[in-house]
A and B are shown apart, each in its own frame.
Chain A
Amino acid sequence: DGGITQSPKYLFRKEGQNVTLSCEQNLNHDAMYWYRQDPGQGLRLIYYSQIVNDFQKGDIAEGYSVSREKKESFPLTVTSAQKNPTAFYLCASRAGPASYEQYFGPGTRLTVT
C-alpha cells in the first residue's frame, strides 16, 4: 500500500527533552512538509523540503529541526527550545512541481509536561 506513515501515534515527553517524530512515504514524492495543528488554529507550516539534502524553514520553524537524507524520510525533531511543543503534528508529501495536492500522514500527538 502506498502512503505516508508517521510514528508514533502518541508521544509523551518531559519538558527539556528533545524528541524526534518520524515521517516516511513510499509514494516516490519529491516534496515533504511538516505542519503543526493546534485547536482552532488550522495548520501552520514548520519546515518543508523539495529535494533530498535540502529543506527550508516555514512560518514557525523556531525550536524545530529536520533532515532529509533520503527521499522517503523527513524526520522532525522538537527541541527543548520550542516553548509550547504540545500539539498535533502532521507530515505531508507532494508529487512534484506540477502537482499542488498534498497528501497527509495520520499525525503524531505530542504531549510535553
Chain B
Amino acid sequence: EDKVVQSPLSLVVHEGDTVTLNCSYEVTNFRSLLWYKQEKKAPTFLFMLTSSGIEKKSGRLSSILDKKELFSILNITATQTGDSAIYLCAVNYGGSQGNLIFGKGTKLSVKP
C-alpha cells in the first residue's frame, strides 16, 4: 500500500531555533515529492523535488530528497513565529494523472 509518513507529528520550538521535518515514503512509480505549508486555510506550495541530492532553497527554508533511502527533509533555520503552521509532505505517483498522496503533516509551533 502506498504511504507517506511524516515525523514528528508535532513540534514546539523557540524563535531562532533550527528545525528539521522528516518525510518518508513508499509509493509505486514515484514522480516527485512536494512540500506545502498550511497556516489556517489553503496549503501553499513550498517546494517540489524530483532528483536526489539537489537542495531546493527559499530564504530560510530548504529541502532535499534522497530517492535511494526514500525520504525528504525540510529544514527551517532561524525560526520565526510566522513559521508556525502545519507542514504537509505529498508524493506524486503513478501515471500522468498527477494524483498526490499526503502525509498527516507536522504541526510546528514557534514560541517567542
Which residues of A pack against B, CB within 8 Å?
A: 4, 31, 33, 35, 40-45, 48, 50, 58, 90, 94, 97, 99-107
Pick from B41, B98, B103: contact of A42, CB under 8 Å: B103
- How many pairs, one residue from A and one from B, have CB atoms within 8 Å of each other in the complex? 54
Verify B43–A40 contact, CB threshold 8 A.
Answer: no
What separation, in Å, do the CA atoms of A111 and B32 have in the docked complex?
34
Residues 88-112 of B, flagged 1 when their CB comes within 8 A of A and 0 if not, give 1010100011111011110000000
Q: Is the interface of A mostly helix, strand, loop or mixed?
A: strand
Q: Which of B19-49 contact A (CB under 8 A)?
A: 31-32, 34, 36, 41-45, 48
Q: Which residues of B contact A (CB under 8 A)?
A: 9, 31-32, 34, 36, 41-45, 48, 88, 90, 92, 96-100, 102-105
Chain A residue numbers with a CB within 8 Å of B32 are 100
A31 to B98, CA, bound (A): 9
Which one of A33, A50, A58, A105 lies within 8 Å of B42 (CB-CB)? A105
Contact flag A100-B34 (CB < 8 Å), given A42-B102, A42-B103? yes
Contact of A97 among B9, B45, B96 (CB under 8 A): B96
Q: In whole Å, how far is B4's beta carbon from the nearest beta carbon of chain A?
A: 8
Q: How far is the CB of B21 from chain A (nearest CB, A)?
A: 14
Who on chain A is nearest to B89 by CB? Answer: A42
Q: What residue of chain B has the Cβ atom nearest to residue A43's Cβ? A: B102
